Amino acid sequence: MRAALALWRGPALADFVYEPFAQTEIADAFWAPRIGKNRDVTIPHNLEYCEKTGRVQNFVVAAKKADGAFQGVFGFDDSDVYKVIEGAAYSLGLSKDPQLDRQLDDVIAKIAAAQEPDGYLYTVGQIGKTAEKPICCTGMTRWVDERTSHELYNAGHLFEAAVAHFEATGKRNLLDVATKNADLLTRVFGPGKNMLVPGHEEVERNDSNEPVWKSTCVELFLIWVNCDRCK
């Protein structure tokens, strides 16, 4: 991650204020019940759906721990698993849940097993074949079709999930996966290297109502510069 700092052209690190969401308490009459419903109903449903639709199994197949083809018609389906982990992590940060914590660890172990030694992680490309005709976003060769492949889009959601999970639990199991992937991106992309631009922003996402430094790469970097446990 330190290598990414050389490319940074934004505000000085001293200007950043980092506030982990896990230090927040919400106990009002409007949001607290909805957060509880999200924890008790929505998150379990989403995790079950990721299992039922093959999204989690794709990581198992990519890790060569099972035979099969990529399940799904969109190459960005990996990101759905990352998004659910992120949402579940936000819930864990507000309310401890040992069963959910263990469930996330099980899914994260499958993600980590699928990651290639150099950090690459994009299950449809790793598996190399699909169970049904894809609609889009299924690049089978690394870094060739960034306009539609969603390799970097998936990476951005991985980084978001990893930051949220680490902040909520203090565990590095997903953070290490994300950092390894980010280190690969810094070796592949940048001045004098691959300059292709992704067709769907996420790894460098900047919402119009957010400060310019609030991007997935910067959030991941800030975890490392602000956390003694990470060094």
Pick 81 or 24 by higher pLDDT.
Answer: 81
> Which tokens in the block code for residue 22?
């896990």
Q: What is the pLDDT of residue 45?
A: 97
Over residues 5-21, the mean pLDDT reads 56
pLDDT score at 216: 57
SS3 64: coil
Q: Is the pLDDT of residue 91 over 70?
A: yes
pLDDT band with cut points at 50, 70 and 90 for residue 224: low
Q: For residue 176, what pLDDT is reported?
A: 93
Rounded to the nearest 5°, which phi and psi values hold at 130?
-115, 150
Separation of alpha carbons 204 and 117, rounded Å: 24
User: Which of the four pLDDT bands, split at 50, 70 and 90, describes residue 22?
Assistant: confident
- Tell me: pLDDT of 151 over 90: no
- Band the pLDDT of 17: cuts 50, 70, 90: low
- Higher pLDDT residue, 15 or 22? 22
Say which residue the tokens 């999970």 belong to.
165
- Sequence-separated contacts (24+) of 62-70 with Cβ below 8 Å: 62/114, 62/123, 62/126, 62/127, 63/110, 63/113, 63/114, 65/113, 68/127, 68/131, 69/127, 69/129, 69/130, 69/131, 70/123, 70/124, 70/127, 70/129, 70/130, 70/131, 70/138
pLDDT, mean of residues 37-47: 96
- 59-77 pLDDT tens trace: 999 999 999 999 999 989 9
Q: Identify which has the larger pLDDT, 92 or 198.
A: 92
Would you say residue 230 has pLDDT above 50? no
| For residue 223, pLDDT beyond 80 | no
pLDDT for residue 209: 41
Element (H, E) at 127: helix 123-127
The pLDDT assigned to 225 comes to 47
- pLDDT at residue 18, rounded to an integer: 57
Mean pLDDT rounded to a whole number for the chain: 82
Give residue 5's pLDDT band: very low, low, confident or very high (50, 70, 90): very low
- Give pLDDT tens digits for 163-199: 899 989 999 999 999 999 988 988 888 788 876 666 5
Q: What is the pLDDT of residue 222?
A: 58
Report the distance separating Cα 34 and Cα 211, nearest Å: 28
Q: Is the pLDDT of residue 143 over 70?
A: yes
